[in-house]
Amino acid sequence: MILMKDVYKTYSNGVTALNGISVDIDQGEFVYIVGPSGAGKSTFVKLMYREVKPSNGQLVINKTDLSELKEKNIPHFRRDIGVIFQDFKLLPKLSVYENVAFALEVIEESPRNIRKRVMDVLELVGLKNKARFLPDELSGGEQQRVSIARAIVNHPKIVIADEPTGNLDPDTSWEIMRVFEEINNRGTTILMATHSKEIVNTIKKRVIAIEDGLIVRDQHRGEYGYES
């Protein structure tokens, strides 16, 4: 599903973010990416949806070799990957429904399919009754659930979440994690970069720890391993 072999990433300003990373993640896995700030977590995550390109090494996602992926094929590659951010990245002037439908509109899905799939996914994240609300009228947790809905409405094989609970209080974080587990149970691979010791130590999953651009630990049912 995700295969990395000796991946290096050096930015154009000379900063080396990844220093030879090799990892293999299977379909349906749930993986936490942990590590101190500036260790390369973000770069690792950005590689997954081809926001950045590896300087060296092999990276295969969904059977696509990213070093051979042409610019014009990036959009199609991304349609199989859902991305979720700490700051939700919702469009403030669009309603909950429109925000989720937006992801289908831009890939030219038919209106009938859009309606059905948006309502299905809003039901999954528990926001069916708030479809007409604007993001500002929702709580942080609800907004994050909208952004999750948008990420998965396209039925991606992989969901990438970059600190999805970073802006949320603990109670809300659990709520979000329940949604992730539900998605994972349906067979979607989930990659989640996080700083939350409680989450990692409570909902036990595979943990990959990155420090100074290297993988220093890769355990199944691992611990967070840092003082938070």
Partner 1 sequence: MKARTLKRHLRESVKNLFRNGWMTIASAGAVTVTLVLVGAFLALMLNLNQMATNLEEDVVIKALIDTTADDEQIKELGEEIDQLDAVDTVLFSSKDEELQDLIEGMGEGGETWQLLEQENPLNHAYVVKAKDPQNTEELADEIATFDNVDEVSYGQEVVQNLFKFNNYARTIGLVLIIGLVLTAIFLISNTIKLTIMARSKEIGIMKLVGATNGFIRWPFFIEGMLLGVLGSIIPIVGILSGYKFFETSISEISAIGFVEILPYNPFAWQLSAIILGIGALIGIWGSVMSVRKFLKV
Instruction: Burial-class residue 103 by CB neighbours within 10 Å (0-12, 13-18, 19+).
Output: buried
Task: Please tell me the distance from the alpha carbon of residue 81 to that of residue 190, in angstroms, as a whole number.
Answer: 10
Task: Please tell me the distance from the alpha carbon of residue 64 to that of residue 25, in angstroms, as a whole number.
Answer: 14
**Which of 150, 177, 196, 222 forms a contact with partner 1 (CB under 8 A)?**
150
Residue 89 contacts partner 1 per CB under 8 A: yes
Q: Nearer Cβ to partner 1, position 97 or 224?
A: 97
Distance in Å, CB of 183 to partner 1, minimum: 16
* Tokens read off for 141: 């947790």
Residue 38 contacts partner 1 per CB under 8 A: no
| Amino acid residing at 49 | Y
* Tokens read off for 8: 């290096």
List the interface residues with partner 1, window 188-217 (CB under 8 A).
Answer: none
Residue 53 contacts partner 1 per CB under 8 A: no
Distance in Å, CB of 48 to partner 1, minimum: 12
* Tokens read off for 209: 């720890």
Quick check: 125 and 149 in contact, CB under 8 A? yes
List the interface residues with partner 1, window 98-117 (CB under 8 A).
Answer: 102-103, 105-108, 111
**Which of 27, 36, 67, 76 forms a contact with partner 1 (CB under 8 A)?**
76
Q: How many whole angstroms from its chain centre is CA 152? A: 10
| Strands 81-85 vs 64-65: parallel, antiparallel or unpaired | unpaired
* Residues facing residue 159 across a β-bridge: 82, 190
Distance in Å, CB of 158 to partner 1, minimum: 13
**Residue count, binding to partner 1 (CB under 8 A):** 20
Distance in Å, CB of 108 to partner 1, minimum: 5
Which residues contact partner 1 (rule: CB under 8 A)?
Answer: 49, 51, 72, 75-79, 83, 89, 91, 102-103, 105-108, 111, 150, 154
